[in-house]
Structure 1
């Protein structure tokens, strides 16, 4: 990444002219998710015996991103190589992520504490919520940032295509993230780091294998 933090985090959006309805739909989705994320961060703070605005006061600059992730069908992409995934194992870099998922056989998996990969439960009408790396660092891994991946399209369902909508809440670039001075925090001690520096270190960390 190059340029200032502001240039990297607040780059202009590029809206495709051939899909005129995308901008208003994405804007409405973003606003709704921002409200949900703020509510969840307030609940998280109270659960840790902190002031309810502890996290939201450190996430004031609209530091969030929205992704529309399309996972094409096997019949569209052709042969899937051994070990190739729709999205390789990764964690979410920010505070938390909200994912509106479609059900499917080639879907989301999370890595359990024993190292095994398990299918993430799908509940119709519900969002999947992932704790991010910043929240894990703040809480000393009491709330872990769980590695997850997206499986390739199955052979027996060559036409399966999935679309996920992901809202990723971050923190203000200058916010120092360090283990909370509270008994509610877990045992892991990370070195203090600013959210902006950590985000730079995580850029480009997701692969397909």
Structure 2
């Protein structure tokens, strides 16, 4: 497969639509539908999230990553769950360099629910409470937890606004998708991509599709960012744009729309020789309520294209994907 040199990812300005202009909302919904049918990725500007808040999350997390491993390891999952707390990703160097492991990524992940008690307070039954794992907030730098929680709330609101526009794109009432996200267990991550001195096999994050409904990603201007596998089989880079977010669909949204919309493979490429800077990305993974029933949406099937997937609880789908997830 080849790598494209020209960007093909649609760029959408949300400012007028988020302001409530019905004409702008309708036009943007059509653009979203086209992007979700074609590649399942688009970038957004005019989203309303303050850059200072983004900078606060990035700075505080970078300060955490700069701490010694002995300190960071105190905030890893006690069960080995790589979707909670601090974890690392190693890759093997090339055979010419002895195949030794080198660190290519560190990450920190936190749920919208801080604890199993929060899950219970949201009204979930014991099954979902037992599955919950508490967040493990670092003690320093001071202010990290506060910045993350403020950012999480802001991007939660943005995600709900996008769901409303996506419902319009599917010719559904604006609240149709949002109704499955009243107690959603979405989570936030921060990735630190490192640049090893040696060449290594694979990629800093290998090819994969996301699990949930949609992902909203901030990426800084560090080298070797996200690449998307377009329908022609080309790996297309998404370059950093100040103030913009990348949005992509997860597997669950593709199932929900009966594959009218697509979840597309993407990866984080290796740095080129001489690209010796680290890179930070902040993805937000939006998931429906654990007990939301996900079945083919109205208008996404007909006699010639009946529903392709059995109905599933969103929490069970996420558990299945987490259990079968290959660390890439």
Provide the TM-score with structure 2 as the length reference: 0.57
RMSD: 2.4
Q: Equivalent residues in 2 for 1:30-109 (5 A)?
A: 30-75=152-197, 79-82=198-201, 84-109=202-227
Higher helix share: 2
- Answer with 1 or 2: which has the greater Rg: 2
Instruction: Report the count of equivalent residues.
Output: 202
Separation (CA, whole Å) in 2 of partners of 1:47 and 1:100:
24
**Structure with more relative contact order (C-alpha pairs < 8 Å, separation 6 or more):** 1
Provide the TM-score with structure 1 as the length reference: 0.87
Q: Equivalent residues in 2 for 1:76-155 (5 A)?
A: 79-82=198-201, 84-155=202-273
Q: 1:122 to 1:142 in 2, by over 3 A?
A: farther
Residue 181 in structure 1 maps to residue 298 in structure 2: yes
SS at match of 1:30: helix
Q: Which runs of 5+ in 1 are unaligned?
A: none
CA contact (8 A) 1:177 1:194 kept: yes
CA contact (8 A) 2:192 2:279 kept: yes
CA contact (8 A) 2:225 2:269 kept: yes
CA contact (8 A) 1:138 1:180 kept: yes
Separation (CA, whole Å) in 1 of partners of 2:266 and 2:234:
11
CA contact (8 A) 2:226 2:269 kept: yes
Which residue of the partner structure matches residue 128 of structure 2?
Answer: 5
CA contact (8 A) 1:49 1:184 kept: no
Alpha-carbon displacement from aligned partner over 1:81-116 (angstroms, at most 9, x marks no partner) = 23x211111111111110011123311001111222
Alpha-carbon displacement from aligned partner over 1:163-187 (angstroms, at most 9, x marks no partner) = 1111111011111212212158995
Q: Which runs of 5+ in 2 are unaligned?
A: 1-78, 82-125
